[in-house]
Amino acid sequence: MEINFEQLINLQNIDEKIKDISHFLDSIPSQLQGIEKKITDSAQIVARAKAVLLQNQKKRRDLESYVQDKKVVIAKYRKQLNDVQTNKEYTSFLKEIGNVDLEIETMEEEIISEMLSADDLEAEIMTAEKKAAEIKDTFLKEKDLVLKKEKEREGLKNQLTKEREALIPAIPSDQMALYKNIFRKTSGTALSPVTDDFCSLCQIRIRPQVLNELIARQEIILCENCGRILYWKPKK
């Protein structure tokens, strides 16, 4: 009886498609993770810049309050200056006032420098926020696309699975068992067409006798090299 290779070829085609779809579906969690990571990374850049700005503002407040305290000290010294009795005391107070004045001057310079850094930081935050919003927008669209593809492929996989189930009763059980076994061993390609005189999957040459048997289609012949089910596929 002539072997109906068409059913096996159909099965192989369906199984290959299902395999590709499954492979794609398996990769979806990592695709989504990659997208989420890009979003959180850009949000982190903003958060870090904001933290630096907060530090800057705190330092400025501390310096300002320190300067305030020093100004109170100077006012007190100036008041005491009126009451001093000796030149020595007077000179000593003046020196002290001079020292504190110098300290205030240094702090005020530092405050200005912190203010300038704050301007830079604010600009940096604005740029980072804009970029983060753009990235989020782009990646959310990408995520939608991935989820849409996932839905499509799942639908397709269900459809193919139904087609496969409908096909199986037409295939003799011994052929089915052989097919399944080779499919597993070859990780997904149990059939190999022979067009000239080569196994198209492992490229080994087919002996003329075997070639004749293939053309006769009376029995299942396995490739001597790769073990796949060979079938004759004449050139169009």
Q: Does residue 202 bind Zn ion (CB under 5 A)?
A: yes
Residue placing its CB nearer to Zn ion in the complex, 111 or 230:
230
Residue placing its CB nearer to Zn ion in the complex, 36 or 197:
197
Q: Give min distance, CB of 151 to Zn ion, in A.
A: 38
Q: Does residue 223 bind Zn ion (CB under 5 A)?
A: yes
Q: Does residue 199 bind Zn ion (CB under 5 A)?
A: yes
Q: Does residue 100 bind Zn ion (CB under 5 A)?
A: no
Alpha-carbon distances, residue 190 vs 131, 169, 176, 181, 222 (angstroms): 50, 18, 11, 8, 10
Q: Give min distance, CB of 232 to Zn ion, in A.
A: 14
Residue 192 belongs to what H/E stretch?
A: strand 191-194
Q: Does residue 200 bind Zn ion (CB under 5 A)?
A: no
Q: Does residue 226 bind Zn ion (CB under 5 A)?
A: yes
Q: Does residue 222 bind Zn ion (CB under 5 A)?
A: no
Q: DSSP secondary-structure letter at 188?
A: S
Q: Where are the alpha helices (DSSP H) in 82-207?
A: 87-167, 173-185
Residue 9 belongs to what H/E stretch?
A: helix 5-81
| Rounded Cα distance, 91 and 84, in Å | 10
Residue placing its CB nearer to Zn ion in the complex, 56 or 225:
225
# of chain residues touching Zn ion (CB under 5 A)? 5
List the one residue from 24, 64, 225, 232 that touches Zn ion (CB under 5 A).
225
224 three-state secondary structure: coil
Is there a contact between 226 and 186 (Cβ–Cβ < 8 Å)? yes
Residues in contact with Zn ion by the rule CB under 5 A: 199, 202, 223, 225-226
